[in-house]
Chain A
């Protein structure tokens, strides 16, 4: 179990993490969600022992990340955000070197490289020099080095950033597959990823935890909330002013534009109030028209936007 208590981190004068407390159960896949610059990478750098926290404590199975650094590092596989690799090595050389540093028995190294390369789909490029690899393969090599020693805990910092949609699905499946018997913490700002892969989600913003639970719980918390999408034909300024002054509407976002006088809006009404009838009547009264109208419950994406505003 990973226990993070009152974690604080300042870099210079700036506070990156304010007060982060959470736990991760064994075998859980935890999604770490937040906008860029929220403190995801910082938290991960502290978890892996690369940075020391300004205040607070991180323990993994009762061992302190600072005091028992070596034992902890042995248990963790880490893929940093930028996937730094030694470009001048060949994939095979690199993995063998990692296996040696990780202290894998010399007799097992070759088998371990084989199984890892297979799990990460690296067989075709195993003899290539790392600098020749495409981004997708680099990511796989990064994952391979993180799992070669069969760690209990896998920490992946934005493992799917910069990949094409097919590669994203592949890497995601790989994480799911690897994560069956490991504790995985991975960060992302892609929301569908969290829904597709994680058991639990923590949303972080400006160095604070702003929400946590399963994807379902989080959407349910916000679930009684509804969002109305409406596409109105009418002079833009006037329509917008009308919506703005409309009673019982909390928030409006101009979502899209079809022509100069057709715009789509996302409207968040006050909790528990159905504004649809009133809204359509008002539009009619102004001689504008409603071209589309639909009501949806809040999705993960909306929860995220709401919490990290």
Chain B
């Protein structure tokens, strides 16, 4: 794996970003994401009148649940529908490079979206003293969780030609992984399962990091989750000619 290898991934990722920003899609997604997030957050913020972003990061996983499937839905489904996949995979790149290119393209988009939310902590710190520890932790957690959603959504997009199915499938799958750690599910499920559900849930690990406690356990969890779905994605792409 030399410089050339990563350069190819970068070129592939660039194409995905061009795909977003050449059309109005990206701007619409970003606008909706920012307006919904800010509006919902500041509604509560001014009532509570506390200089904290905690409520925002309670909200964020739910907004991600819709934003990220919208980002990933077209990545493979559109290539399959239009047939460009045939041409993409006959370029001198490996299947891994293509998968990673798409993944990193999505990641850039996600990070752009998160950078644009920095207006919130800036506003709050001008109104009162904001404790930066949990904010930084939460942003880190948001990147990890968003990336996990991204790799899951990308994988689901590779299973279909239809963007809408990819979108809804990704929302459903992300919701399940997020929700299984919820207190409601954990208390109603049989007791033996409880620790597994908590350990598997994207939400539980996010809460840990968001508290400002960065535990290797959570990082390892996210990295394995991301890697697993990228690997599954690569396997799906690789198996195109086996049928």
Contact = CB atoms under 8 A, between A and B. Distances in A.
Interface of A: 11-12, 45-46, 48-53, 69-70, 73-74, 76, 78, 80, 82, 84-89, 93, 97-98, 100-103, 145
Contacts of B240: 50-51
A217 B134 CA distance: 80
A73 B92 contact: yes
A13 to B, nearest CB: 10
Contacts of B187: none
Contacts of B82: 84, 87
Given A51-B240, A70-B94, A93-B18, A101 B8 contact: yes
B184 interface: no
Contacts of B91: 73, 98, 101-102
A49 B11 CA distance: 21
A50 B95 CA distance: 11
27 contacts: A11-B243, A45-B241, A48-B90, A50-B86, A51-B240, A51-B241, A69-B94, A73-B91, A76-B90, A78-B87, A80-B83, A80-B87, A84-B83, A84-B84, A84-B87, A86-B15, A86-B84, A88-B18, A88-B23, A93-B18, A97-B14, A97-B18, A98-B91, A100-B11, A101-B8, A101-B12, A103-B4
Contact of A12 (B11, B14, B90, B243): B243
A52 B87 contact: no
Contacts of B242: 52
B212 interface: no
Contacts of B83: 80, 82, 84
Contacts of A84: 82-87
B183 to A, nearest CB: 44
A45 B14 contact: no
B27 to A, nearest CB: 14
Q: Residue among B4, B11, B94 with the most chain A CB within 10 A?
A: B11
A45 B90 CA distance: 9
A86 B12 CA distance: 13
B21 to A, nearest CB: 10
B93 A101 contact: yes
A50 B91 CA distance: 10
B127 interface: no
A97 B10 CA distance: 11
B87 A102 contact: no
Interface in B202-243: 240-243
A148 to B, nearest CB: 11
Contacts of A74: 92
